[in-house]
Amino acid sequence: MACDLLMLTGGNDVDPFAYGLPRGQGEKDVDVDRDTIEIEVTRAMHASGKAVLGICRGMQLMAAAFGGDLIGDLPAAGYQGHLQEEKETEEVHGIVADPGSAASHALGGASGVNSLHHQAVGSPGPLFKATAWSPDGVMEALEAPGMLGIQWHPERLLARDDRHLAPFAWLLSNR
């Protein structure tokens, strides 16, 4: 494969078909073609031993690509306050990561993150280990060798705190 690394970005929801459920899980604005392409590219990068960083939707797609599943609508499942678009450049909730994990390094010492999603990973699947959580128990990071998914948007926090460059440094150091 000609790519050295892959970054999966945020965006619209992942189609429930991608993780084995019918539509009607609370998803919004799915793009089946995008899901199909990104799942195949993610699997190919993993098979090639190339680094993958998934941000928000990217993390969710990583889980779906390898047998995990999603919570299709966090508010309907009882998790409030995870879609705070008006505070996209602010740390709106705490986060706890396993010590020594890639997620811990990706936080760069920060203890709070933004939250711009209404879907989240429910089960990471057999490939990944969950390594960070919000105070209410929503999974905020998953990882496997050379692969890291984070639920927050570090690119939107950079103007306030350059520690949020850490996920991108992780990606570059793993290529």
Q: Kind of pairing, strands 139-144 and 147-150?
A: antiparallel
The residue from 46, 82, 117, 153 that is catalytic is 153
Quick one: how many helices (H) and strands (E) in the chain?
4, 10
3 is catalytic: no
Question: Is residue 129 within 8 Å of 97, Cβ to Cβ?
Answer: no
164 is catalytic: no
Q: What is the DSSP letter of 55?
A: E
Q: Comparing C-alpha atoms, which of 140, 133, 145 is closest to residue 170?
A: 145
Residues 6+ apart with CB under 8 A from 42: 6, 8, 52, 54, 61, 62, 65
The residue from 27, 46, 56, 82 that is catalytic is 56
**Cα distances (Å, whole numbers) of residue 95 to 8, 26, 117, 141, 173:** 21, 25, 15, 10, 23
The helix or strand, by DSSP H or E, that contains position 52, with its residue range, turns out to be strand 51-55
Query: Catalytic residue positions?
Result: 56, 153, 155
